[in-house]
Chain A
């Protein structure tokens, strides 16, 4: 996959992957935000499950 926004280093400024493609940049940003939020939600479910086990005497 060609992700480079530049073809030479002379005069290059922002050169991070997909710097020339705002749609993909926003997509990757959204993906990372989903990972953050999703991980918190996942953690909440795991935590709740653990507490329920303790309440039910399964620990």
Chain B
């Protein structure tokens, strides 16, 4: 009898260990595929930017976008992950930051740690997304060197500092103000949109964008279908992005990044409803396929902060409003003399701002954990203000410095000739792009 009990106890222990390890591996697998889907976001931005460029700049735009990815991943290894772990309290360095130093034992293959690499990977892809947001806005006239420096700074420093403050279980915006932004509308989209705005002011418009009287000309991209498909790829990738925003708890319910319980079902309801609200909102406003797909993106971003709590038709309405307003915001940006080639400020900056504020307006009172303050309009406004200032201020100052050193803008003759002919050893369309005859 005693032997049987001992055998059963041993079997139970082995079963528990096996179940725990299965959960750990499931978690790794989940985030692995989130990373893969987030690379689809980058593929989408690549197609989007190249389609929005004129034929003379298409490859240069593609190279720029790919290099953002290439430089962000290593720099996010060097210091990005450390920044996230270091600064949840503000500007003092937390003890946990030691685990994010690039020479730490956790920052490489380690059989005692199944989490760090996969989370680092997911966050590195969030970083690449922020840089891609800025990348589209500045096409056809930014210097590659200046762009790479800006992309590294945005992707591996600025947004992740904001994430440490407001998208971290113990970030000060949450512990002090109950800030709630489960889908990273603020730290990714608002910061990237605001950063892009700061850069665009110093970069200036493309030659021919504005007339002497200040009126704007439309500079169409060379391939709108490519742009629209790119936007749809971004939407596909968003399911990886938002999947990466939820925490897999081994043996327990999912939580959001703040530790509040949630479900992936909640994310599915509200992502899809927000997306479709956005598609329709932009279609009603413009009937323009570019804006429809951008509107779908705005719809998801608008619903993102409260993705875990919205009643799905409410997410639909919030997405609709965000997307309906986005073309108006884009027009305001243009009227201010700013040439945002893909409306990144309106889509991401406005969408992120609206998403964060909407969460304060309509989701106030949702409780927090560990005696942290509940969701409130004040908390959301504080968070939005901090992200806006962080993104815009850093983008404006860094681009101003680059401008002073002549590293921001290509010379006018190269811009007129086209960046592909200037510096790319290939032709995008070697047989030429010819207009179809009228008849």
Residues in A lying within 8 Å of B, measured CB to CB: 9, 12-16, 19, 22, 25-26, 29, 32-33, 36, 40, 43-44, 46-47, 50-51, 53-55, 59
Contacts and interface: CB of A to CB of B under 8 A. Distances in A.
The DSSP consensus for interface residues of chain A is helix
A51 B109 contact: no
B102 interface: yes
Interface string B405-419: 001001101100100
A36 B74 contact: yes
Contacts of B400: none
Contacts of A16: 108-110
A46 B113 CA distance: 42
Contact of B414 (A13, A25, A54): A54
23 contacts: A13-B111, A14-B105, A14-B106, A14-B108, A14-B110, A14-B112, A15-B110, A16-B108, A16-B110, A19-B108, A22-B103, A29-B78, A29-B103, A36-B71, A36-B74, A43-B145, A43-B148, A47-B143, A47-B144, A50-B423, A51-B413, A54-B414, A55-B411
A51 B74 contact: no
Contact of A50 (B112, B407, B422): B422
A13 B112 contact: yes
A46 B423 contact: yes
Interface in B387-439: 407, 410-411, 413-414, 417, 421-423
Interface in B68-120: 71, 74-75, 78, 102-103, 105-106, 108-113
B271 to A, nearest CB: 35
Contacts of A54: 411, 413-414, 417, 422
Nearest to B419: A50
Contacts of A43: 144-145, 148
Given A33-B78, A47-B144, A55 B413 contact: yes
Contacts of A55: 411, 413-414
Nearest to B75: A36
Contacts of A46: 423
B201 interface: no
A47 B423 contact: yes
Contacts of A22: 103
B105 A59 contact: no
Given A25-B103, A36-B74, A36-B75, A13 B110 contact: yes
Contacts of B78: 29, 32-33, 36
Given A22-B103, A59-B422, A15 B109 contact: yes
B411 A51 contact: yes
B149 interface: yes
A3 to B, nearest CB: 12
Nearest to B112: A13
Nearest to A25: B103
A26 B71 CA distance: 20
A51 B283 CA distance: 42
A14 B413 CA distance: 54
